[in-house]
Amino acid sequence: MARAFFVGVVVGFWVSACALIAWHNHNAGAQLVEHSVLRDVRRHAVPEGSSKKPSQHQVKLALHQPECDSDSSDIDCGIHTIMSTGCTKFQHWQSELVLFSHWKSGQKGKITRLVSGCHIGKDGETQSGGLGGISNTGGGALDGTVPIDMLNRSTHPNFDLHVTPTFEEAASFSWFNKPLSIQHFLKHAKRAKKGTIILLDPDMPILHPITQHPLEPEELLFDKSFHKGPKPGMNVALRKRPVGAQYMLRSTWLTAYNRDDICGKGSPCATISAYNAEQLYSVGPPLIALVEDWEDLITLWFPYMKKVVSKSPEDIINDMWAYCMASSNLEMPHMQLRNLMVSDPSGANPAVSEEAWPWIVGEEWSCDNPLAVPLGGKPRRLPNVAHIAHRYEATDSEGDGWLFHKGASITTS
């Protein structure tokens, strides 16, 4: 219950704060156009020498997103966060939440939302394609589409929108959009040719900034039985050594798929041991890799995914199985970190959890501000993201129950 409670209060806090910012921007008269809302809000903020008292929210708007000059030597300023989405209302509110959390948490660098499977209909409205007949919301109102001009609005000063063509392959399986949109982004977007790219899913609001400054082993969670004699910097993505969140994929893909057919007979992917597959390739977003590695990965990810989907056409994590095989065939072992996320509230005992629950369970958390440091307490050790991919239920101290699920539509009478 503590796990569901933590995810619930954090998501509720972020959603409420995001809604508050949107309301404040509207009432302040900020123009929500061309990626520049925060600059607009700052123009509405109090000028120097003015006797007008600033509002609490205007002050907060100017403080959280770190400044990164174009010539900054801070390696974190070179981080580029991306997420692959559609244009449905379901993924739009999640994307807005990630954008807000990226700014609010102090995550440095740019963030780009990749949008695929959408096109402009004859009436000028956005239409969604490539959903493969699959609805994440039970066919509710959240399956509706969001206009392109609305997708292009953001209060984030370092936000960009990258709209791809509609990919024919995604008509049968929408998750093809992920590798294909990343491939299109790498080929066509105006971006840095070097640096680090972090891949998030749209249901991953950021709680704590991801850094590429070397951290001490004590600041991370990982399998100490595998990584003996750990050294500082295990969180840093290196050439041909990405960093990823540890998932419970284990070595399932070794027996579930014909790796000789997918990767090639005698290839690294086809001959890897179960132990190494579990320790080095049981990963998923957040995925952190150098630009050069993403450019290599993308050459295999989609071709492998096509073969994986032909074997298991309804498995919604086919993209992850294909990523495991592609990265292993390229001999890109990952540093698997458990502190990158929390997600499943029904997971294993915190003592052996593959997520960051050991930092959460047993702590006191406030519903008003779940990320606040307790008075006189030590700074929080927080996971980097909350992967809100499950159903979260709990009962509060007064006996009232609550439920959060990202696919639930809210209706009013």
Convert the pLDDT of each residue in 148-206 to its tens digit.
888 888 878 899 999 999 999 998 999 999 999 999 999 999 888 889 999 999 999 99
Q: pTM of whole model > 0.85?
A: no
More confident of the two residues 13 and 101: 101
**For the chain, percent of residues with pLDDT exceeding 90:** 53
Nearest-angstrom CA–CA distance, 86 and 184: 15
pLDDT digits (tens, 9 = 90+) for 102-153: 998 999 999 999 999 886 554 445 555 443 333 444 445 667 888 888 888 8
pLDDT digits (tens, 9 = 90+) for 391-408: 887 777 788 887 788 876
pLDDT at residue 3, rounded to an integer: 61
pLDDT at residue 381, rounded to an integer: 84
pLDDT at residue 23, rounded to an integer: 34
For residues 105 and 207, the answer to whether their CB atoms sit within 8 Å is yes
> Is residue 275 packed enough to be buried (19+ CB in 10 Å), middle (13-18) or exposed (0-12)?
exposed
pLDDT digits (tens, 9 = 90+) for 216-257: 999 999 999 999 889 999 999 999 999 999 999 999 999 999
pLDDT at residue 309, rounded to an integer: 97
In this predicted structure, the answer to whether residue 312 has a pLDDT above a threshold of 90 is yes
Which of these ranges, 169-178, 268-277, 351-360, 384-393, has the smallest mean pLDDT? Answer: 351-360
Nearest-angstrom CA–CA distance, 385 and 207: 5
pLDDT at residue 19, rounded to an integer: 44
pLDDT digits (tens, 9 = 90+) for 34-54: 223 233 322 333 333 434 333
DSSP class of residue 67 equals P
- Residue 376: pLDDT band by 50, 70, 90 thresholds? low
Helix segments in 29-159, DSSP class H: 37-44, 56-61, 89-104, 148-151
